[in-house]
Amino acid sequence: MFFEHKPHAGPREDLANLSVTDSRVGDMLSVAGAAPDFSDLDFTVDRREQYEAGSRIWTELSGSWRDRRVYLEVHNEDTVEVLGNFDGRKFTLDELGLGEDDLAQIDERQNPADFFDYDGKFWLYRFSREMGIFSNGSATGRGFYGWQFQEQDGKRFLNIRKFEGEPFTVSIWTRIETTDITVFRSS
């Protein structure tokens, strides 16, 4: 009996060395030491959304971990930068001590020297602009306005989003080293 050898079309994917930028729905991601008790945080990606702000494009990966939704924001421009949101907490502008008028003034100035004090930390203005979110490769998306602040001398970022007809939402994200993320390809 003869077995026919069929050539493999194209290069094989190196499954042992996948990067977070290679992640897709169904993959399992493990983020070393990201859980509150410093254990690994493992989740299966069930959502992959693309964000756009002007010429900038990035991906948000999310899934469930211990009955809460967790997120990785993956920027792949000159270098790969990853931000994680693992605690599931959402804040209000009132909790930050900010109002809608404060954000409008910050947005109008577009001044990186602007900051506010929250939780004993100074949060430095980084940018604000209109953004779009596209789910599952859809050509039509949903728009929102967003502001980003960075913790002074820290690796945390505070994101404020405002979708039309919805209240402001605030969340805190932490910079994650790409070497701390392992990708396991789904079959």
Q: 64-73: per-residue pLDDT in tens?
A: 999 999 999 9
> DSSP characters for 27-95?
-EEEETT-STTSS-EEEE--EEEEEEETTEEEEEEEEEETTEEEEEEEEESSSEEEEEE-S---B-HHH
pLDDT band at 13 (very low <50, low <70, confident <90, very high): low
CA distances from 179 to 13, 32, 85, 96, 174 (A): 19, 9, 17, 32, 15
Residue 135's pLDDT is 85
pLDDT band at 181 (very low <50, low <70, confident <90, very high): very high
Domain edges within the chain: 15-88+176-184, 93-173
Residue 49's pLDDT is 95
- Bridging pattern class, strands 41-44 and 28-31: antiparallel
Residue 139's pLDDT is 74
Facing residues of 84 across strands?
72, 174
Mean of pLDDT over the chain: 91
pLDDT tens by residue, 81-124 = 999 999 888 899 999 999 999 999 999 999 999 999 999 999 99
Average confidence (pLDDT) over 5-33? 79
Residue 9's pLDDT is 55
pLDDT band at 40 (very low <50, low <70, confident <90, very high): very high
Average confidence (pLDDT) over 167-178? 96
pTM for this one?
0.86
Listed residue (110, 105, 144) closest to 127, CA to CA: 110
pLDDT band at 4 (very low <50, low <70, confident <90, very high): low
Residue 78's pLDDT is 87
Cα separation, 183 vs 186, whole angstroms: 9
Cα separation, 97 vs 75, whole angstroms: 29
Q: What is the dihedral of CA 122, 126, 129, 133, to 10 degrees?
A: -90
